[in-house]
């Protein structure tokens, strides 16, 4: 009997935002695989679940570079899929933990596809998590979408030139991982015909959380990878809710 493979979203950073399902599954599985992305070997996703007090012997780490050139990570995922399958075929269950939601800008997706392609006999269960846009808007007190409004989410590095047009059509635009293009973003925002509400947030829900409403003050700063900007058109509160 082949074990089940779980893709577990652990939420944006606050351990209390883990779902009950994630907590149960992480307690039940034989192995928890996780990426680590810092030179010192620490893992953001592993840190989120630390308060669960699971034994360290249950964890296996996989090194990812998180660079824009993904070829090395692809090899790593191929190797990880094999390593995970060798546990599953012995009847053991394995979870892969990932920040936020497993299918939303996550490192889990490629592993998921490799597993489906190489080992179609494996049963995979994906456990959704709270995303960083949801957590960020909750912390900032800024609604994402009323009943008639549209929402766009862009990885900042790949879509910034389209931003002015999108802000006409979408009530809220989330820019994910703005760290690399932040100064370019400031220029675009300064050139908009009508100003929009803009909120910068990093590491939402962690002890290092930072929320900044005057984006100009961040100019030239070295911003972290887990950073996003929420852009929202001002609208009449009573309109269409």
The contact pattern for a copy of itself, residues 8-37, with x = CB under 8 A and - = no contact, is -x-xx-xxxxxxxx-xx-------------
Q: Which two tokens stand for residue 196?
A: 């929009």
User: At its nearest, how many Å lie between a copy of itself and the CB of residue 117?
Assistant: 8
Segment contacting a copy of itself by CB under 8 A, of 82-90, 110-118, 181-189, 217-225? 110-118
Residue 17 to residue 11: CA distance in whole angstroms:
6
Question: Residues with Cβ < 8 Å from 198, sequence gap 6 or more?
Answer: 189, 213, 215, 229, 230, 231, 232
197 to 226, contacts with a copy of itself by CB under 8 A? none
**Should residue 119 be labelled a site residue for a copy of itself when binding is judged by CB under 8 A?**
no
Q: Which two tokens stand for residue 88?
A: 């599953």
User: At its nearest, how many Å lie between a copy of itself and the CB of residue 101?
Assistant: 5
Q: Given strand 5-9, what is the order of strands in its sheet?
A: 59-63, 31-36, 94-98, 5-9, 124-127
Q: Looking at beta carbons only, is 23 or 212 nearer to a copy of itself?
A: 23
Residue 15 to residue 19: CA distance in whole angstroms:
9
User: At its nearest, how many Å lie between a copy of itself and the CB of residue 161?
Assistant: 12
Phi-psi region of 11 (alpha: psi -120 to 50; beta: other; left: phi over 0): left
Chain contacts with a copy of itself (rule: CB under 8 A): 7, 9, 11-12, 14-21, 23-24, 70, 74, 101-105, 109-110, 112-113, 116-117, 124, 126-131, 134-135, 137-139, 141-155, 157-159, 162, 169-170, 237-238, 240-241
């Amino acid at each position: 009997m082949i074990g089940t493979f779980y893709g577990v979203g652990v939420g944006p950073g606050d351990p209390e935002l883990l779902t009950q399902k994630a907590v149960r599954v992480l307690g039940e599985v034989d192995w928890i695989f996780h990426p680590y992305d810092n030179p010192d070997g620490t893992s953001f996703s592993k840190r989120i679940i630390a308060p669960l007090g699971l034994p360290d012997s249950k964890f296996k780490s996989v090194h990812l570079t998180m660079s824009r050139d993904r070829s090395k990570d692809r090899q790593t995922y191929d190797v990880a899929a094999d390593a995970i399958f060798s546990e599953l075929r012995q009847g053991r269950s394995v979870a892969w933990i990932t920040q936020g939601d497993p299918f939303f800008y996550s490192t889990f997706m490629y592993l998921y596809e490799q597993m489906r392609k190489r080992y179609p006999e494996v049963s995979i269960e994906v456990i959704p998590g709270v995303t960083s846009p949801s957590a960020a808007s909750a912390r900032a007190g800024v609604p994402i979408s009323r009943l008639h409004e549209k929402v766009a989410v862009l990885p900042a590095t790949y879509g910034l030139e389209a931003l002015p047009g999108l802000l006409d059509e979408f009530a809220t635009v989330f820019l994910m991982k703005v760290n690399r293009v932040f100064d370019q973003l400031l220029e675009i925002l300064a050139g908009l015909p009508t100003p929009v509400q803009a909120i910068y947030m990093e590491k939402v829900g962690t002890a290092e959380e930072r929320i900044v409403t005057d984006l100009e003050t961040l100019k030239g700063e070295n911003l972290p990878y887990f950073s996003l900007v929420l852009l929202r058109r001002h609208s009449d509160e009573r309109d269409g809710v």
